[in-house]
Amino acid sequence: MKIEIWSDIACPWCYIGKRRFETALNGFEHRDDVEVEWRSFQLDPTLPAHYEGTETDYLSRSKGMPAEQVEQMFAHVAKEAAGEGLDYDFDSIVVANSFTAHRFLHLAKTHGLMAEAKETLLSGHFEHGRDIGDLDYLAEVGQTLGIDAAETRRILAGEDFSAEVKADIAEAQALGANGVPFFVIDRRYGISGAQSPDAFAHALETAWGESQKLTVLTGNGSEKDSPSGETYPDGAVCGPEGCN
């Protein structure tokens, strides 16, 4: 079973949703048969490379919300994050455009390290006040994961992986994703938002059950046996009692 997860590094609910999904996946009987692929998304592609101001300033101005309301929202989100073992520090967040960081994630993917890079960047952004738009920081993360720092700087200094990030975003929009996190299971089920672990667990069980069902096209000449309406002649079969 394949699960694609669209999310943004600058999305607080995406990190919470990641933790809740992982809780459900860790308790899933068939977790070893599940492939998870991270996909890129940007909540605000118009954000400058670096914003001179706090996260409170940014949201207050961009969303037209009073600063007090933004602070209340942060307190609620931080409480939800703490429930998942995350220590959000909104006061230390560096507001930056996430496009370059998404390009770095695609670079990490070529090394088989996208999941590890995703976790590190989310933690750095929300818990440690690191600048996800800074090439030195991204090179540092790459070095920690085993990616040569010089390679990271060289690639991110150009336009490599820009097309991949844009393709991910376009595909999310084509699938009808209006926000993130957005989870797609086997291109059959879409789950929007940081749902509870129980909700994710139910979705995994449901999707797994559906994936194991087999439509048998018998040879009795009935159209109902074929999804596309074809009929099939009787065929020779063998069973416990012999062959016919």
pLDDT in tens, the chain (244 residues): 999 999 999 999 999 999 999 999 999 999 999 999 999 999 999 998 888 899 999 999 999 999 999 999 999 999 999 999 999 999 999 999 999 999 999 999 999 999 999 999 999 999 999 999 999 999 999 999 999 999 999 999 999 999 999 999 999 999 999 899 999 999 999 999 999 999 999 999 999 998 877 555 555 544 444 444 554 455 555 655 666 5
| pTM for the whole structure | 0.86
| Residues 6 or more apart whose Cβ sits within 8 Å of residue 175 | 182, 184, 190
User: What pLDDT is stored for residue 222 in this prediction?
Assistant: 46
Can you list the domains of the chain with their CATH numbers? 2-208 (3.40.30.10), 216-244 (no CATH)
CA separation for the pair 7, 18 (Å, rounded): 9
Kindly report, residue by residue over 205-215, the tens digit of the pLDDT: 999 998 877 55
pLDDT score recorded for residue 49: 87
Q: How much is the mean pLDDT over the chain? A: 90
C-alpha to C-alpha distance for 41 and 63, rounded to whole angstroms: 19
- Residue 119 and residue 106 in contact, taking contact as beta carbons nearer than 8 Å: no
User: Which one, of 98, 103, 150, 147, lies nearest residue 124 by Cα?
Assistant: 98
